[in-house]
Amino acid sequence: MLRIDSLTTDHGQVRAVDHVSFDVEVGSCTAVIGANGAGKSSLLRTLSGLVKSSSGSAHWGDVDLLKLPTSEVVRHGVAHVPEGRSVIAELSVEENLNLGALWRGKDPDVTVTKSEVLDLFPRLGERLKQGADSLSGGERQMLAIGRALMARPKLLLLDEPSLGLAPIVIEQIFHTIDTMRKATGLTVVLVEQNAVSALAIANHAIVLALGKIVASGEAKAIASDESLRHAYLGY
């Protein structure tokens, strides 16, 4: 499982993640919700090694995530889809996908993974040779997720996959994440401001405010807690 204990991350004077502790069972989905600046991205970036923690611990099974460089984190089955649909605009859709599997070298199963990804996102299959810069926002997000899946991760860290997308595309992407998790036993940490969509597919949820966990529990219980909704979830 993913075990996070008293994790703290500072950006200079700003304490972005403040003694955060939670566990995520293998094969489950935990939603991390909270307002702008709550520390959600900083939490994911700490887990994938992009920023250094100040204290605390984070283990994925027996792997100490805080001790590894980002390139090693991916080898231990952890994939991070950062905020902002980050794809490489100069490369084609297919080249972007291939990048996700780079560390797998000549693994013959890479082609199997690619066809699985294209089954999940058929739109990408229709656009393999197109430049990534020609994709719509939703298609770029599909590509960013698809590229992460090319690494055949066991733990997927998703940062606001719904940001700026039309409701129908959001629904499709969340449905895909949910189906994939149930089919493959993938473990998911889903950072979202779109609390309604995230809580609908999550098993558990934590609510962050100013870097601290202010509520946690079963996703259903969080979703139906009216005072939490008013105070932190904005609906």
Ligand X SMILES: Nc1ncnc2c1ncn2[C@@H]1O[C@H](COP(=O)(O)OP(=O)(O)OP(=O)(O)O)[C@@H](O)[C@H]1O
Q: Is the alpha carbon torsion for 29, 203, 65, 208 positive or negative?
A: positive
CB of 204 to ligand X, least distance (A): 18
Phi, psi of 90 (to 5 degrees): -75, -15
Closest CB to ligand X among residues 12, 69: 12
- Strands across the sheet with 2-11, in order? 14-24, 2-11, 55-60, 63-64
Using CB under 6 A as the binding rule, whether residue 193 contacts ligand X is answered as yes
107's enclosing H/E stretch is: none
Among 28, 30, 41, 162, binds ligand X (CB under 6 A): 41
Three-class DSSP category at 88:
coil
Which among Mg ion, ligand X, none contacts residue 225 (Cβ within 5 to 8 A by kind)?
none
Closest CB to ligand X among residues 39, 56: 39
> What single letter denotes the amino acid at residue 113?
T
> What single letter denotes the amino acid at residue 110?
V
Nearest to 203 by CA among 63, 1, 68: 1
Among 18, 31, 40, 232, binds ligand X (CB under 6 A): 40
Q: Looking only at residues 59 through 88 of this chain, which bind ligand X when binding is defined by CB under 6 A?
A: 83
Closest CB to ligand X among residues 97, 213: 213
Which among ligand X, Mg ion, none contacts residue 16 (Cβ within 5 to 8 A by kind)?
ligand X
Our CA angle for 76, 159, 12, nearest 5°, is 90
- For binding to Mg ion (CB under 5 A), which residues are involved? 40-41, 83
Closest CB to ligand X among residues 121, 232: 232
Which among ligand X, Mg ion, none contacts residue 34 (Cβ within 5 to 8 A by kind)?
ligand X
Using CB under 6 A as the binding rule, whether residue 213 contacts ligand X is answered as no
Nearest to 35 by CA among 216, 161, 194, 153: 194
Closest CB to Mg ion among residues 118, 189: 189
> What single letter denotes the amino acid at residue 191?
V
Which among ligand X, Mg ion, none contacts residue 105 (Cβ within 5 to 8 A by kind)?
none
